[in-house]
C-alpha cells in the first residue's frame, strides 16, 4: 500500500489529467435543453413551447448583450422577438411586442413594407438596430431595439423596387444577408451578384447607399469588378473592419474584400503569384472552396472558418496581416458519420469552438478550434454532434427538422438553431436551444471525480 503522501500526490496529478481530458473531449459539447425549454415553435410538436410567426423559420440573430434572440419567417416576412432566460430557454415577448409584421390582424406590431421572403436577420454590433433581408421582396428593412425587453420598431427601408416609404436602391436585387462593421459606421449586404455597401447613421441606424465603384464589388454595372463572384452565399466582416470575406458556391471560392475603415469604400486585391492552387503556399485574395456555403471570422480576426458540402469537415483559413488575404489551414479529417451537410456556421466568442448546422442525418457538428493555429478538431463523445435519430453516436435532438441558421450566445453557454419544415397544408418552424458545456463545468466535473478517487485512496491508507 502506498504511503499517504504518495497517494495524495498521485491524486493531485490525476486531478490535472482529468481536467485536461475533460477540456479536450467535452468542452463545447451540445445537449438540448430539457422539456419545452429545448425549443419554441409554430406548428411544431408537443415537446416545444408555442411561439408565433415562426412558419418556415429562417434567419436567426442574438443581441450582443445576450438578452434577445430574433428570428424571421420566410412565409410571412415577420420577425419574432424572444427574451433569453438564465437557463438559456427562450420566451417570446408578450402581446404585439412579440413580433413585427406587415400583416394586419397578426397580433404583431405592424411594420409596413416588411414583406414575405425574409431570409436573414442581423443585430448591429452596438445592439441598437436589427436589419432584415427579404430575398423575394428585394428589400432591406431597418428596425430599432427598444424598451427593457428588446421590442422592435420600424426605422425605414431600402428597396430594389419603388415602394412607398422606402428609399430606392437598384443594387438590392436578390438580397440575402446584411452585416455591420464593429465601428458602427457601415453596413454591407450580399445580393444575387455583388457585395454592396452602406453608410450607417449611428443615431438612427438608417442606411445610405455608398454609390460609385467603391460602393460595391461584384457583377453590378457600377461595381468594382471581380471574376471571383458568381452568386455570393455568405459574408463575414473582420473585427478590425479592414476586410470582408465572401463565399460563393457557384464559383466555389472564398474571396477577400478590402474595406477602408474611414469611408467604408470597398476594393479587391490584384491576383497574386502562386494563388491559383487549391491550397496556396502564400496568402492570397481568394481560394478555391468547392461546396462553399457559409463563413464566420474568429473574434481575434486571425482565422476564417467556412462550411463546405464537399469538404470532410469545416475549412479554416488564416487571415494575412494585409487586409483581404487568406491562406488555407489543414485540419484533421472528420468521420462522415459525425458530420453535417453544412448550411451555416458560427464561432464562440472566446474563439475556441466552432459549430455547424445543416441537412442530413447529422443536424449539427461541434469542433474545438485551436486559437493559435486555427486547426479544427471535432469534439469526442455524443456532444460532438446532434442527430435527428438515436443510434448515430450523437446527442439526439428533437424538432431539428431542416436546420438553417445557428448562433452561439455571447457567454458561450448556448447554441440556437432555426429549423423550417413546409407541409402540404401548413408550415411549421422552430428554434431549438442547446446547452454548450463550458470549461468551468468540465473542470468541476473532473475535479469531483478526482476528489472521489482521493477519498477512496485515503480510506485505504493505514
User: Could you tell me which residue, 449 or 261, shows the higher pLDDT?
Assistant: 261
Local structure of residue 4 (DSSP, 8 states): H
Close Cβ partners of 177 (under 8 Å, ≥ 6 residues apart): 119, 120, 122, 133, 189, 190, 234, 235
Furthest C-alpha separation in the chain = 88
> Backbone phi, then psi, for 220, in 5-degree steps?
-65, 155
Closest alpha carbon to 341 in 284, 397, 293, 302: 293
80: which 3 cell numbers?
A: 419574432
How confident is the model at residue 126, as a pLDDT?
96
Topology of the domain comprising 32-437? Methylamine Dehydrogenase; Chain H (2.130.10)
User: Could you tell me which residue, 443 or 101, shows the higher pLDDT?
Assistant: 101
pLDDT at 107 over 60: yes
Average pLDDT, the chain: 85
177: which 3 cell numbers?
A: 444577408
Given the DSSP bridges, would you call strands 49-50 and 39-42 parallel, antiparallel or unpaired? parallel
pLDDT at 27 over 50: yes
How confident is the model at residue 6, as a pLDDT?
34
How confident is the model at residue 221, as a pLDDT?
74
pLDDT at 288 over 60: yes
303: which 3 cell numbers?
A: 482565422
Residue whose C-alpha cell is 467603391:
214
Least confident of 123-132, 357-366, 434-443: 434-443
Q: Which helix (H) or strand (E) holds 342?
A: strand 341-347
459: which 3 cell numbers?
A: 480510506
Say if CB 265 and CB 214 are below 8 A apart.
yes
Closest alpha carbon to 258 in 217, 290, 199: 217
36: which 3 cell numbers?
A: 419545452
pLDDT digits (tens, 9 = 90+) for 301-359: 999 999 988 887 899 999 988 899 999 998 888 877 788 788 999 999 999 999 999 98
Closest alpha carbon to 357 in 415, 426, 270: 415
Give Cα 11 distance to the centre of its chain: 41
User: Could you tell me which residue, 292 or 270, shows the higher pLDDT?
Assistant: 292
pLDDT at 20 over 50: no
Closest alpha carbon to 364 in 393, 338, 385: 385
Give Cα 343 distance to the centre of its chain: 10
Say if CB 220 and CB 173 are below 8 A apart.
no
Task: State pTM to two decimals.
Answer: 0.88
Distance CA 458, CA 447 (A): 16
pLDDT digits (tens, 9 = 90+) for 406-445: 999 999 999 999 998 655 345 789 999 999 987 544 444 4
Say if CB 88 and CB 82 are below 8 A apart.
no
pLDDT digits (tens, 9 = 90+) for 368-383: 999 999 999 999 999 9
How confident is the model at residue 332, as a pLDDT?
87
C-alpha angle 83/87/89, rounded to 5°?
45
451 pLDDT tier (thresholds 50, 70, 90): very low
| Residues counted in the chain | 462
How confident is the model at residue 116, as a pLDDT?
83
279 CB burial (10 A radius; 0-12, 13-18, 19+)? exposed
**Complete DSSP assignment for 268-287:** -PPPPTTTTSSS-SS-BSEE
Amino acid at each position: 500500500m502506498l504511503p499517504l503522501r504518495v497517494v495524495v500526490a498521485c491524486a493531485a496529478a490525476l486531478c490535472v489529467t482529468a481536467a485536461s481530458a475533460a477540456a479536450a473531449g467535452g468542452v463545447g459539447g451540445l445537449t438540448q435543453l430539457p422539456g419545452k425549454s429545448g425549443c419554441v415553435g409554430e406548428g411544431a410538436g408537443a415537446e416545444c413551447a408555442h411561439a408565433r410567426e415562426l412558419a418556415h423559420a429562417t434567419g436567426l440573430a442574438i443581441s450582443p448583450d445576450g438578452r434577445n434572440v430574433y428570428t424571421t419567417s420566410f412565409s410571412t416576412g415577420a420577425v419574432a422577438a424572444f427574451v433569453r432566460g438564465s437557463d438559456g430557454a427562450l420566451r417570446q415577448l408578450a402581446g404585439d411586442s412579440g413580433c413585427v409584421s406587415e400583416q394586419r390582424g397578426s397580433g404583431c406590431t405592424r411594420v409596413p413594407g416588411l414583406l414575405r421572403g425574409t431570409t436573414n436577420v442581423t443585430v448591429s454590433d452596438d445592439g441598437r438596430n436589427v436589419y432584415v433581408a427579404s430575398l423575394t421582396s428585394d428589400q432591406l428593412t431597418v428596425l430599432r431595439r427598444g424598451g427593457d425587453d428588446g421590442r422592435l420598431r420600424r426605422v425605414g427601408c431600402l428597396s430594389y423596387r419603388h415602394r412607398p416609404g422606402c428609399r430606392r436602391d437598384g443594387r438590392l436585387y436578390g438580397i440575402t444577408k446584411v452585416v455591420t462593421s464593429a465601428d458602427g459606421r457601415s453596413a454591407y449586404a450580399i445580393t444575387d451578384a455583388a457585395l454592396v455597401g452602406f453608410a450607417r447613421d449611428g443615431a438612427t441606424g438608417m442606411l445610405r447607399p455608398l454609390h460609385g465603384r467603391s460602393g460595391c464589388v461584384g457583377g453590378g454595372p457600377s461595381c468594382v469588378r471581380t471574376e471571383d463572384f458568381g452568386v455570393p452565399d455568405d459574408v463575414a466582416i473582420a473585427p478590425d473592419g479592414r476586410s470582408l470575406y465572401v463565399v460563393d458556391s457557384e464559383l466555389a471560392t472564398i474571396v477577400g474584400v478590402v474595406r477602408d475603415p474611414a469611408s467604408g469604400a470597398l476594393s479587391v486585391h490584384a491576383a497574386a503569384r502562386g494563388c491559383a492552387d487549391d491550397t496556396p503556399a502564400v496568402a492570397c485574395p481568394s481560394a478555391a472552396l468547392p461546396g462553399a456555403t457559409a463563413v464566420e471570422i474568429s473574434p481575434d480576426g486571425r482565422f476564417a472558418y467556412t462550411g463546405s458540402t464537399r469538404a470532410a469537415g469545416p475549412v479554416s483559413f488564416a487571415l494575412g496581416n494585409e487586409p483581404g488575404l487568406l491562406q488555407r489551414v489543414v485540419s484533421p479529417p472528420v468521420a462522415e458519420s459525425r458530420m453535417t451537410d453544412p448550411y451555416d456556421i458560427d464561432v464562440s466568442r472566446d474563439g475556441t469552438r466552432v459549430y455547424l448546422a445543416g441537412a442530413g442525418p447529422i443536424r449539427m457538428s461541434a469542433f474545438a478550434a485551436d486559437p493559435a493555429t486555427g486547426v479544427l478538431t471535432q469534439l469526442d463523445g455524443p456532444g460532438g454532434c446532434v442527430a435527428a435519430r438515436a443510434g448515430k453516436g450523437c446527442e439526439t435532438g428533437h424538432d431539428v427538422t431542416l436546420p438553417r441558421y445557428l448562433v452561439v450566445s455571447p457567454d458561450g453557454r448556448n447554441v440556437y438553431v432555426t429549423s423550417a419544415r413546409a407541409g402540404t397544408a401548413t408550415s411549421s418552424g422552430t428554434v431549438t436551444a442547446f446547452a454548450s458545456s463550458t470549461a468551468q463545468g468540465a473542470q468541476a466535473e473532473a475535479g469531483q471525480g478526482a476528489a472521489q478517487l482521493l477519498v477512496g485512496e485515503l480510506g485505504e491508507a493505514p
